[in-house]
Amino acid sequence: MTKDWRYYTERGLAIVAALILFETLFYKFGGHPNSIALFTELGIEPWGRIGSGVVELIAGGLLLFRKVSFHGALMALGTMVGAIFSHLAVLGISYNDDGGGLFYRAVFVLTASALIIVLRKEDIQAFIKEIKDMEKNGLDQL
């Protein structure tokens, strides 16, 4: 594999997105009052806070490994759609006078995840083909 601009762009986006996802885990898993207040306002405390933290932990971990980074990008993309929708519909862009920090981080992770998916489209197509081949040949290949 030759390492061209796509490789370095994908790796950079994946690492920064993973760091942003990991940054929030301290607040979610540690039960920080701001995190509890946010999820209480959404009406999904504590399970929404813990559940989204688990998904973000898995997505961030997958993003760090290039072979499965597109899986992490798909997970992060879905999670960030929910986060952005929550901000736009309920919380507002600037939550708790943070100047929109949480919202803009979610927008960055969403954008980075979408770009990772585009940059890795051949790998995603190969993965889909592999799944279809397994279905056609039976699940005994698992």
DSSP for 54-102 reads HHHHHHHHHHHSGGGHHHHHHHHHHHHHHHHHHIIIII-SS-TT-TTHH
pLDDT at 33 over 90: yes
Band the pLDDT of 140: cuts 50, 70, 90. Answer: low
- Top pLDDT among 63 and 2 is at 63
Q: Which range of residues forms the domain containing residue 13? A: 5-141
Predicted confidence band of residue 74 (pLDDT cuts 50, 70, 90):
very high
Distance of CA 47 to the CA centre of its chain: 18
Give the tens place of pLDDT for each residue, 6-15: 999 999 999 9
- Please give the mean pLDDT across all residues of the chain: 93
Quick one: pLDDT band at residue 136, thresholds 50, 70, 90? confident
Rounded mean pLDDT, 68-90? 96
* pLDDT bracket for residue 98 (50, 70, 90): very high
Asked if 89 and 126 touch (Cβ cutoff 8 Å), the reply is no
pLDDT band at 134 (very low <50, low <70, confident <90, very high): confident
Which residue from 29, 58, 61, 60 is spatially nearest to 46, judged by alpha carbons? Answer: 29
Instruction: Tell me: pLDDT of 141 over 90.
Output: no
Q: How many domains does the chain have?
A: 1
| Residue 142: per-residue pLDDT | 53
What are the CB-based long-range contacts (under 8 Å, 24+) for 62-65?
Answer: 63/14, 63/15, 63/17, 63/18, 63/21, 63/116, 64/14, 64/15, 64/18
Contacts of 68 (CB under 8 A, 6+ apart): 62
Using CA atoms in the order 16, 17, 23, 29, what is the torsion angle rounded to 10 degrees? -150
